[in-house]
Amino acid sequence: MTQHKAISGTPITGAIVTGGAGFIGSHLCESLLRKGLPVVLVDNFCTGLRDNAETLKQHAKAKSNLHVVEADVIEPWSWVDKISPGIRSKISHVFHFASPASPPLYQDMAFATLWVNTTGLNHALEFADTIKARVVFASTSEIYGDPEISPQPESFWGNVNSFGVRSCYDEAKRFGEALIFTHNWKKKTQHGLVRIFNTYGPRMNPHDGRVVVNFLMQALRSEPLTVFGDGSQTRSFCYIDDLVDGIWRYAESELTTPVNLGNDREFSILELVETVKKMLPEKKLKVEFQDLPKDDPKQRRPDLQLAKKELAPWQPSIQLADGLKLMYAWLEQQHESI
């Protein structure tokens, strides 16, 4: 397990994690519990797994440290009154990670996606201010849209369609960034955000619909891998442990400006197919080409210079082939129940 060290800024002494039953949120909760820190996991389970919360409850150090709250964070945060004064006094950070994240799911829940990253984020900021906690918001590479430059540095302002099927997600995240900037500017606070690039790993909902979990589930069932378009579009895939390490370092830093987090090794979707096939030669997997979804970005690769400098010695270290094996092993274990 990676050792997280405070760079400067605020060490984490306890946290609220919205979206804590989700893929990234549950790993974040686990890393907090491993350190013996109190965690308030808040989720409405719209895309996350109840099993993720159950798994966390069984964690050796969870006993009195894990508090699971079922709530929609778009609604007023009345549940905060039920947090005991002992826990409340320890909360140094609010990780606002609640949001549908996969294109098919956020398009199904388009209004909820708009509100959770705007109204929901505003609730997080307002509450955090009352206890002087630091908010870390899960922003995304989607704010770059279909990028004209590669790799994408934080200074690139993006090429986003504000009036299309992906805009409920992309523009809500962009508004979220603007809200954090404005909140810090006008209220002299120190909240921040990370721009997360495609991350994968165990505990992602098997029915989530994003490319890595789709391919691995299809492989598990010996079905053809569904490639959208001609498969020449690229993504850069980061394993969850590398991401969580980066989020910790950012959270404990004094940074308030956006920082990219991900893995800068870029793969076309056809290269991802080949990597999966190589991992499972006995499956003799086939490919089925399907239509490219609207506004699907052609390329995505993070420029990690800022992250490597500001969050040193952070850098992604897990190779795609290794991470895929870990995720596949987890999916195999779930196979009975899915």
- Identity of the residue, 210 or 285, whose beta carbon is nearer to ligand NAD in the bound complex: 210
| Binding partner of 296, given ligand NAD, ligand UDP, none, CB within 5-8 angstroms per partner class | ligand UDP
Token pair listed for 161: 């369609």
| Binding partner of 98, given ligand UDP, ligand NAD, none, CB within 5-8 angstroms per partner class | ligand NAD
**H or E element at residue 94:** strand 93-96
Contact between 126 and 135 under an 8 Å Cβ cutoff? The reply is no
Contact between 136 and 250 under an 8 Å Cβ cutoff? The reply is yes
| Binding partner of 73, given ligand NAD, ligand UDP, none, CB within 5-8 angstroms per partner class | ligand NAD
- Residue 162 backbone phi and psi in degrees, to 5: -80, -5
Token pair listed for 56: 């966390």
Q: How far apart are CA 273 and CA 267, in angstroms?
A: 10
- Identity of the residue, 207 or 308, whose beta carbon is nearer to ligand UDP in the bound complex: 207
According to the binding rule CB under 6 A, does residue 193 interact with ligand NAD?
Answer: no
Catalytic residue among 106, 169, 239, 328: 169
According to the binding rule CB under 6 A, does residue 73 interact with ligand NAD?
Answer: yes
Number of residues that bind ligand NAD (CB under 6 A): 31
Q: How far is the CB of 296 from ligand UDP (least distance, A)?
A: 5
Contact between 252 and 12 under an 8 Å Cβ cutoff? The reply is yes
According to the binding rule CB under 6 A, does residue 120 interact with ligand NAD?
Answer: yes
Instruction: Among 123, 174, 235, 249, indicate the residue that binds ligand UDP (CB under 6 A).
Output: 235
Contact between 301 and 234 under an 8 Å Cβ cutoff? The reply is yes
Token pair listed for 331: 């999916």
Residues 123-182 that bind ligand UDP (CB under 6 A): none
- CA 93 from centre of chain: 16
Q: How far is the CB of 1 from ligand UDP (least distance, A)?
A: 27
169 is catalytic: yes
- Identity of the residue, 137 or 285, whose beta carbon is nearer to ligand NAD in the bound complex: 137
Distances (CA, A) of 121 to 113, 177, 251, 306, 331: 11, 10, 16, 25, 31
Q: Among the candidate windows 67-75, 158-166, 250-258, 300-308, which touches ligand NAD by CB under 6 A?
A: 67-75
| Binding partner of 327, given ligand NAD, ligand UDP, none, CB within 5-8 angstroms per partner class | none
Instruction: Among 14, 19, 246, 297, indicate the residue that binds ligand NAD (CB under 6 A).
Output: 19
SS3 of residue 209 by DSSP = coil
- Residue 255 backbone phi and psi in degrees, to 5: -65, 140
- Residue 176 backbone phi and psi in degrees, to 5: -55, -45
Q: How far apart are CA 83 and CA 104, in angstroms?
A: 34
| Cβ-based neighbours of 23, under 8 Å, separated by 6 or more | 48, 52, 101, 199, 201, 203, 204, 205, 208, 240
Does residue 103 have a cis peptide bond before it, meaning omega lies within 30 degrees of 0? Answer: no
Residues 201-230 that bind ligand UDP (CB under 6 A): 210-211, 214, 226-228
According to the binding rule CB under 6 A, does residue 320 interact with ligand UDP?
Answer: no
According to the binding rule CB under 6 A, does residue 296 interact with ligand UDP?
Answer: yes
Which residues of the chain form contacts with ligand UDP (CB under 6 A)?
A: 102-103, 198, 210-211, 214, 226-228, 233, 235, 269, 292-293, 296
Which residues of the chain form contacts with ligand NAD (CB under 6 A)?
A: 18-19, 21-25, 43-48, 72-74, 97-101, 112, 116, 120, 138, 140, 196, 198-199, 204-205
